[in-house]
Amino acid sequence: MATGQLFSKTTQALFYNYKQLPIQRMLDFDFLCGRETPSVAGIINPGSEGFQKLFFGQEEIAIPVHSTIEAACAAHPTADVFINFASFRSAAASSMAALKQPTIKVVAIIAEGVPESDTKQLIAYARANNKVVIGPATVGGIQAGAFKIGDTAGTIDNIIQCKLYRPGSVGFVSKSGGMSNEMYNTIARVTDGIYEGIAIGGDVFPGSTLSDHVIRFNNIPQIKMIVVLGELGGRDEYSLVEALKQGKINKPVVAWVSGTCARLFKSEVQFGHAGAKSGGEMESAQAKNQALREAGAVVPDSYEALESAIKQTFDKLLEEGKITPVKEFTPPQIPEDLNTAIKSGKVRAPTHIISTISDDRGEEPCYAGVPMSTIVEQGLGVGDVISLLWFKRSLPRYCTQFIEICIMLCADHGPCVSGAHNTIVTARAGKDLVSSLVSGLLTIGPRFGGAIDDAARYFKDAYDRNLTPYEFVESMKKKGIRVPGIGHRIKRGDNRDKRVELLQKFARTHFPSVKYMEYAVQVETYTLSKANNLVLNVDGAIGSLFLDLLSGSGMFTKQEIDEIIEIGYLNGLFVLARSIGLIGHTFDQKRLKQPLYRHPWEDVLYTK
């Protein structure tokens, strides 16, 4: 066990098992105390490496993350405190690993409920190697104005209230972390504040004892008096009694052992800590208080009188000139986190993204205001989901059925079309699913599957301007523009695309109006008179029928329809549908274990 000061203004720690809030509180305390370097040198998160972004005052810093204790200790040889936020299941093993590192001098174990046999092994190893264990079941400890462990002393407001941003003259040790916060406040009210405070933890076997720290405080010149808060159960306080009797402590000690109310109960009472249970008269609070009083400690008659006893002891030292009054100063203001400031209404900040189609902030995601559970319970399909996420409204069933038919009909068109070919070549090159899919999708454009929007745009413009098919086709010809949605490399007037026929049949059966589709058919009749392959293709069929869906449903304004076409909604339908086929081709090639594709040279015209 160390015999003097554990921490200083240059102490750095390694933090095990990343927890954002306690680390940020440590860094905020550093800034409050005017430290030049952050007290957290590195973070250990088993299995992960990199950096974690946190704030040191107003500056954002990156703290290294290491996957093992050994790697962290090697990277930060000056960090001699190990703060262990592991669960009770793994806290002992990780603490022992830390104790075995030559650079680590102090290990703080936050977890409660660490197996007692494991704790005993940790204690034995630490004592044999002159190291300090604080905990288990501890909030940690603090050296005022220099260093603190994790959540010790709570919020910044509480730290300022307790004057912990600068050193005082009192050494304090307690079993309870919660009561430590209370006592820091009490001590600050009637003295110049604490110099160092330790909560040894409430388990039956603490890594270090009350007397260990009291004796250590006795060796620190800056500490002029010591305050001890014990509790019923166990016999730890008696080691302090023996130290007092043997003259090992020559500074005033003010002590109180909580739990005097236990005698009011007829049966044995287990208080909050595992060790807070009286196992006989000697372990009672009354017996411990009496023994401490007889050994020379200042012990008040009640907890309520503890503050007065501390004040009297401090005032006496002040009168004797043993304590020099501390110069007070105003600590720097800790910048408030943006989220906290927004919640408190102190600031307003612009958002970075606007979303109107979905919301994941509640108990379940909502699509255009419709909870996901409702979508499932009502048996809605993919078409309904598209209507919510794309069009922000629930379209009639015939509309969503049409969307689903379009997806099914456009999912694939064989391995020879350019998109599928690109995907197959990419998959055979050993690329992953996303790369293979994107390779095919990037082929979609004016010449392959990307003409739906243009077909809808031109058909709508011509129909709305009352152009005859002849006027429309000839005007496009004069502009040098092919009519989108007309023409096919394989299909002919006497060999129509079955997909087009299925779409037209569905629309004639279910749509209130098919005026745009009928206009497209009239255009097809005229173009077929010019060439037998200038048939209405699937792009033209979907484009014209989507116009009928949008206008005939009565759910969209003219402005909304124009916007839908301009943005590219209809091409989105082809992209969504064809992704299904492209993914299928990727899986097919990988399942067949096809080798790298090389185009045959005899299929290339080599010319000058």
Active site residues: 273
For residues 563 and 566, what is the distance between their CA atoms, to the nearest angstrom? 5
Give the Cα-Cα-Cα angle 94, 99, 105 (nearest 5 degrees): 130
Helical residues (DSSP H) of 298-432, grouped into ranges: 306-319, 338-343, 372-377, 382-391, 397-410, 418-428
- Specify whether the backbone of 4 is left (phi greater than 0), alpha (psi in -120 to 50) or beta: beta
For residue 366, the cross-strand partners are 359, 371
Helix or strand holding residue 27 (H, E): helix 20-33
Burial class (CB in 10 A: 0-12, 13-18, 19+), 479: exposed
For residue 227, the cross-strand partners are 172, 254
Who contacts 320 (Cβ-Cβ below 8 Å, separation ≥6)?
none
Strands 106-109 and 132-134: parallel
Strands 140-143 and 147-148: antiparallel
For residue 196, the cross-strand partners are 143, 171
Give the Cα-Cα-Cα angle 245, 248, 251 (nearest 5 degrees): 95
DSSP characters over 422-490:
HHHHHHHTT--HHHHHHHHHTT-BTTBB--HHHHHHHHHHHHHTT--HHHHHHHHHHHT---TTB--SS
- Specify whether the backbone of 463 is left (phi greater than 0), alpha (psi in -120 to 50) or beta: alpha
| Cβ(394)–Cβ(384) below 8 Å | yes
Residue 5 token pair: 């000061």
Helical residues (DSSP H) of 297-367, grouped into ranges: 306-319, 338-343
| Dihedral of alpha carbons 199, 204, 208, 210, sign | positive
